[in-house]
Amino acid sequence: MAIISIASTKGGVGKTSLAFSLAKDLGYRYATNDMSVVLNKYKNARYYPKKIPLYEDTVYDFGGFDADHADEILRASDIILVPTTNDLNSIMKSLIFIKNYKEKTILVFANMIDNPNDATMIKAKIHEHFPNLAFTYLRRTKLLKNALESGMSASELYESSKHSQHLYKQAYGEYNKILKLFTTDGHYFSASQS
């Protein structure tokens, strides 16, 4: 049972891709204020152009970010995932966002990581301002893109063949660390310290 929000004021950082796979893997509703292909790929996906209702067991994808619109849901969320890529603008926007929600449980999710050192650097930059904030990362991978395109969650795609298991081994391990936060009894950060 959880309300999970994925939010950032920056586009193209992976919110929709991650939100879809997590929602499908958890059997949760996917709710968004931003039109996305997920609506054609997942039967439990709903688009709310105006006010988004608050539901349990939902992954909220706050793209096309509108603070007034999202604020109530963000405040009610059990956890907010903040995707960040390896560029200063993305990191800065994440820091500003986190400042507004610093009383919430937040997981910083560094996405599209080309090199583990980049993840370490992003983590250090975040921790300069918010020490001890939970942090995890996902490498640059086609896992989420291919999953969404096929209408499968990341786990379904990974499990679909030996070839997939080989191809996505590392990326899936990283994704699964995030998924496991929600499948092991609300111990949100048990697997997130990297």
Ligand X SMILES: Nc1ncnc2c1ncn2[C@@H]1O[C@H](COP(=O)(O)OP(=O)(O)O)[C@@H](O)[C@H]1O
**Contacting residues toward Mg ion, per CB under 5 A:** 15-16, 63
Contact between 59 and 28 (Cβ < 8 Å): yes
Check the CA dihedral 41-177-184-73 and report its sign.
negative
- Give whichever of 35 and 186 is closer to ligand X, judged by the CB atom: 35
What does the per-residue mask of binding to ligand X show for 13-52, with x meaning CB under 6 A? Answer: xxxxx-----------------------------------
**In this chain, which of 33, 84, 94, 111 binds ligand X, going by CB under 6 A?**
111
Query: Position of tokens 């379904």?
Result: 156
Q: Please, which residues have CB within 8 angstroms of residue 119's CB and are 6 or more apart in sequence?
A: 110, 113, 137, 194
* Residues in 119-148 that interact with ligand X by CB under 6 A: 138, 140-141, 144-145
Residue span binding ligand X (CB under 6 A) among the ranges 5-13, 74-82, 89-97, 185-193: 5-13
Task: State the minimum distance, in angstroms, from the CB of residue 109 to ligand X.
Answer: 10
Query: What CA–CA distance (Å, rounded) separates 147 from 127?
Result: 32
Query: What CA–CA distance (Å, rounded) separates 106 from 131?
Result: 12
Please report, as ranges, the residues that interact with ligand X according to CB under 6 A.
Answer: 11-17, 63, 111-112, 138, 140-141, 144-145
